[in-house]
């Protein structure tokens, strides 16, 4: 998700009150911990006039223990008409956003659990998509429906019954979506079939890779589809599909080469695009954007003439195909992996395509917003809203911008060569996985797992680095004193924890790396002019906010 308009969310909250505590993840219900979802089959008819959906969802799962009951989340705004197991209807309850089903008999460990829930109604209208999600029912200028779903913060149970937890992705997914004639439904995976049915057309999309529930999306409009091919680093020809509103066809066409360049740069740094056996897709949406797997929601209005003359929004959402969709946090406490590393990718794009100065300007810009009021990777389990919204209110970008600075400073510690090797292994831990497209190329990752990869490439323990930067909120302070002909450097840390962060010091014209064993060092100046951390490599307390002017010193 992109963070630009997050302020709007809070303004909205202030006016309507916290009416919906519906979040995703956090504590796993025992009934949900007992199953591993393998597949969802979602068949829905979307009625733009009535603003309703109706249909059925079949969940197929493997029992991890003996299972007698199934519990799936579904927003209370929707009404369940029946639940079928095997071929028989079974009793159910639907209360507090949870559909509870008692199976006709227990399913033994390793057995298959399949439940079909027929339901329908008016799903929540997204109050401020994508940050506060649901269905967005917009119209194009000529009055045709333009519909999008978004549900990262609340979970997909806003519109279909699911095990609403980030730790369980179905291996595959099928969508059968019926929309009125003249409209196109753009969704995840590959389009298997378009059928004429009563009242419209039914689109069958098949997802061949594991997918996070919140990444399943409907985009419905009288889209024009621009198609091209992207040749991946591994030689695969990947279909690229851009679903544009007809009036924006020319703009989309002009934008496509940049889309391909973003893909190319991400592959250069992070390895092959993970979903080469499906497609890379973009759908123009009436909200800013979301990392919907293989069908990125794009609502940045083709504003490529923004800062640095590139479309940051598209690049950001696309970077989530690696950081979020290939590499996924199992618990929302590790969401900085999606947003922090995802945000750092834009700086790397600018460095690669516009030069080091653009990278420096981007990082300086990101440094300004940090709040440091809570850890970006708390150790305790978090639901999607706990991790995303600061309980103290206000604007909090730390998951994004502090996360990107953690990567920036990690790069200083490891050095470019090892850092970029480590970054690639964070995406694909084994080079062999870069060749895989059967769904096993992705994984759940944790902060500890990424630390292990960084340590492997650094050859030294990095607990001190991650403990200080992501496990607690306060920044370290570098105390610099000039003592005669010597420079005294000392790290001041919260709780006086050990912090042997090496410090770059410019002495005369040369930048040297000063090791800081025990968090301290003394540098003999020998009459040379000095500057500490001249290129702002260190995430630390700044005496004043670094500005562009400061950088040119
Ligand atoms: Zn994002």
pLDDT of residue 22: 82
Ligand 1 centre distance from Cα of residue 187 (Å): 19
Closest CA to 155 of 28, 309, 283: 28
Ligand 1 centre distance from Cα of residue 106 (Å): 41
Q: Which pLDDT band holds residue 551 (cuts at 50, 70, 90)?
A: very low
Ligand 1 centre distance from Cα of residue 4 (Å): 10
Identify the domain boundary among 415, 437, 469.
469
pLDDT of residue 20: 37
pLDDT of residue 310: 94
Ligand 1 centre distance from Cα of residue 388 (Å): 11
Whether 292 is in a domain gets the answer yes
pLDDT higher than threshold 50 for residue 12: no
Whether 290 is in a domain gets the answer yes
Ligand 1 centre distance from Cα of residue 416 (Å): 24
Could you tell me which residues come within 8 angstroms of residue 285 by beta carbon, excluding any fewer than 6 positions away?
136, 148, 150, 219, 297, 298, 299
Ligand 1 centre distance from Cα of residue 290 (Å): 7
* pLDDT tens-digit map of 495-545: 999 999 999 999 999 999 999 999 999 999 999 999 999 999 999 998 765
Average pLDDT, the chain: 93
Closest CA to 3 of 291, 273, 219: 291
Could you tell me which residues come within 8 angstroms of residue 241 by beta carbon, excluding any fewer than 6 positions away?
186, 225, 226, 227, 279, 280, 281, 282
pLDDT of residue 327: 98
Ligand 1 centre distance from Cα of residue 291 (Å): 7
pLDDT of residue 553: 28
Mean pLDDT in residue range 155-178: 97
* pLDDT tens-digit map of 118-128: 999 999 999 99
Ligand 1 centre distance from Cα of residue 114 (Å): 33
pLDDT higher than threshold 80 for residue 19: no
CB atoms within 10 A of CB 455: 17
Mean pLDDT in residue range 471-477: 98
- Cα separation, 202 vs 43, in Å, equals 9
Q: How many domains does the chain have?
A: 3
Whether 217 is in a domain gets the answer no
The answer on 371 and 444 residing in a single domain is: yes
Ligand 1 centre distance from Cα of residue 338 (Å): 7
Contact status, residue 293 vs residue 188, Cβ threshold 8 Å = yes
Whether 496 is in a domain gets the answer yes
pLDDT higher than threshold 60 for residue 87: yes
Whether 59 is in a domain gets the answer no
The answer on 392 and 290 residing in a single domain is: no
The answer on 465 and 342 residing in a single domain is: yes
pLDDT of residue 298: 98
Output the six-digit token pair for 205.
Answer: 């999309």
Identify the domain boundary among 254, 287, 322.
322
Contact status, residue 420 vs residue 464, Cβ threshold 8 Å = no
* pLDDT tens-digit map of 297-348: 999 999 866 788 899 999 999 999 999 999 999 999 999 999 999 999 999 9
How does DSSP classify residue 294?
T
Identify the domain boundary among 277, 307, 322.
322
Ligand 1 centre distance from Cα of residue 340 (Å): 8
Ligand 1 centre distance from Cα of residue 39 (Å): 26
Mean pLDDT in residue range 45-50: 98
Closest CA to 176 of 188, 161, 162, 163: 188
Query: In 3-state terms, what secondary structure has residue 77?
Result: coil
CB atoms within 10 A of CB 141: 9
pLDDT of residue 314: 97
411: left (phi over 0), alpha (psi -120 to 50) or beta: alpha
Output the six-digit token pair for 385.
Answer: 């809203």
pLDDT of residue 1: 74
Domain that holds residue 450: 328-469
% of the chain beyond a pLDDT of 90 = 89
First-to-last C-alpha distance (Å) of the chain: 35
pLDDT of residue 396: 72
Q: Is 24 or 394 the better-scoring residue by pLDDT?
A: 24
pLDDT of residue 305: 65
pLDDT of residue 303: 83
Ligand 1 centre distance from Cα of residue 180 (Å): 32
The answer on 305 and 334 residing in a single domain is: no
Ligand 1 centre distance from Cα of residue 404 (Å): 12
**How far is C-alpha 8 from the geometric centre of its chain's CA atoms?**
20
Question: 171-175, 369-373, 400-404, 537-541: lowest mean pLDDT where?
Answer: 369-373
pLDDT higher than threshold 80 for residue 204: yes
Torsion of CA 333, 162, 315, 336, to 10 degrees: 0
Ligand 1 centre distance from Cα of residue 250 (Å): 27
The answer on 496 and 536 residing in a single domain is: yes
The answer on 533 and 425 residing in a single domain is: no
pLDDT of residue 199: 86
pLDDT of residue 91: 96
The answer on 417 and 353 residing in a single domain is: yes
- Cα separation, 163 vs 216, in Å, equals 13
Ligand 1 centre distance from Cα of residue 431 (Å): 26
* DSSP string over 327-385: EEESSGGGTHHHHHHHHHHHHHHHHHHH-HHHHHHHHHHHHTT---SS-SS-SS--BHH
Torsions phi, psi for 111 (to 5 deg): -80, 175
Could you tell me which residues come within 8 angstroms of residue 552 by beta carbon, excluding any fewer than 6 positions away?
none
- Cα separation, 340 vs 283, in Å, equals 24
Mean pLDDT in residue range 375-381: 96
The answer on 241 and 292 residing in a single domain is: yes
The answer on 463 and 526 residing in a single domain is: no
Residue 543: CATH number of its domain = 2.60.40
Contact status, residue 271 vs residue 424, Cβ threshold 8 Å = yes
Residue 353: CATH number of its domain = 1.10.390.10
Could you tell me which residues are beta bridge partners of residue 478? Answer: 491
Residue 289: CATH number of its domain = 3.30.2010.30
Contact status, residue 211 vs residue 175, Cβ threshold 8 Å = no
Kind and range of the H or E element at 250?
Answer: helix 249-270
Whether 432 is in a domain gets the answer yes
Order across the sheet with 145-150: list the strands: 134-139, 145-150, 219-221, 184-186
pLDDT of residue 394: 64
- Cα separation, 101 vs 94, in Å, equals 9
Whether 352 is in a domain gets the answer yes
- Cα separation, 375 vs 392, in Å, equals 13
pLDDT higher than threshold 90 for residue 50: yes
Packing angle of the helix pair 249-270, 312-319 (nearest 10 deg):
50
Q: Is 170 or 393 the better-scoring residue by pLDDT?
A: 170
CA atoms within 13 Å, Cβ hemisphere of 256: 20
Ligand 1 centre distance from Cα of residue 345 (Å): 11
The answer on 465 and 368 residing in a single domain is: yes
The answer on 452 and 386 residing in a single domain is: yes
Torsions phi, psi for 108 (to 5 deg): -70, 160
pLDDT of residue 14: 32
């Amino acid at each position: 998700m992109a963070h630009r308009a997050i302020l709007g969310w809070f303004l909205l909250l202030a006016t309507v009150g916290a009416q919906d505590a519906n979040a995703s993840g956090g504590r796993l219900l025992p009934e949900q911990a007992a199953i591993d979802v393998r597949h969802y089959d979602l068949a829905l008819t979307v009625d733009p006039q009535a603003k309703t959906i109706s249909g059925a969802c079949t969940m197929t799962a493997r029992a991890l223990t003996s299972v007698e009951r199934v519990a799936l989340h579904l927003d209370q705004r929707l009404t369940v008409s029946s639940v079928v197991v095997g071929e028989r209807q079974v009793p159910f309850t639907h209360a507090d956003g949870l559909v509870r089903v008692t199976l006709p008999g227990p399913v033994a460990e390793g057995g298959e659990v399949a439940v079909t829930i027929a339901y329908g109604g008016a799903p929540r209208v997204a109050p401020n998509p994508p940050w506060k999600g649901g269905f967005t029912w917009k119209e194009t200028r000529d009055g045709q429906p333009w519909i999008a779903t978004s549900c990262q913060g609340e979970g997909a149970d806003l519109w279909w019954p699911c095990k609403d937890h980030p730790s369980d992705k179905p291996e595959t997914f099928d969508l059968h979506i019926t929309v009125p004639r003249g409209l196109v439904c753009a969704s995840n995976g590959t389009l298997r079939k378009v059928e004429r049915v009563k009242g419209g057309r039914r689109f069958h999309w098949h997802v061949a890779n594991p997918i996070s529930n919140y990444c399943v999306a409907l985009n419905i409009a009288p889209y024009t589809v621009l198609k091209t091919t992207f040749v991946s680093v591994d030689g695969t020809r990947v279909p690229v599909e851009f679903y544009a509103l007809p009036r924006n066809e020319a703009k989309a066409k002009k934008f496509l080469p940049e889309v391909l360049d973003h893909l190319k740069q991400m592959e250069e740094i992070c390895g092959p695009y993970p979903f080469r056996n499906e497609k890379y897709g973009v759908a123009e949406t009436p909200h800013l954007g979301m990392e919907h797997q293989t069908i990125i929601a794009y609502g940045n209005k083709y504003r490529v003439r923004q800062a640095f003359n590139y479309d940051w929004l598209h690049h950001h959402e696309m970077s989530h195909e690696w950081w979020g969709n290939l590499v996924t946090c199992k618990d929302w406490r590790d969401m900085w992996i999606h947003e922090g590393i995802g945000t750092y990718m834009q700086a790397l794009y600018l460095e690669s395509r516009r030069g080091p100065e653009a990278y420096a300007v981007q990082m300086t810009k990101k440094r300004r917003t940090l709040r440091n009021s809570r850890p970006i990777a708390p150790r305790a389990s978090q639901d999607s809203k706990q991790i995303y919204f600061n309980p103290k209110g206000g604007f909090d970008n730390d998951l994004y911008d502090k996360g990107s600075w953690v990567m920036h400073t990690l790069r200083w510690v490891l050095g470019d060569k090892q850092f970029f090797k480590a970054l690639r292994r964070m995406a694909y831990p084994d080079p062999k996985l870069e060749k895989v497209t059967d769904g096993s190329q992705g994984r759940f990752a944790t902060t500890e797992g990424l630390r292990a990869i960084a340590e492997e490439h650094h050859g030294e323990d990095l607990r001190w680095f991650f403990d200080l930067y992501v496990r607690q909120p306060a920044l370290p302070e570098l105390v610099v004193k000039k003592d005669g002909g010597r420079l005294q450097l000392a790290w001041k840390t919260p709780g006086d924890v050990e912090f042997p962060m090496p410090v770059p010091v410019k002495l005369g014209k040369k930048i040297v790396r000063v090791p800081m064993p025990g968090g301290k060092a003394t540098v003999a100046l020998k009459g040379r002019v000095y500057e500490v951390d001249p290129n702002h490599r260190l995430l630390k307390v700044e005496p004043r906010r670094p500005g562009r002017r400061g950088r040119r010193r």
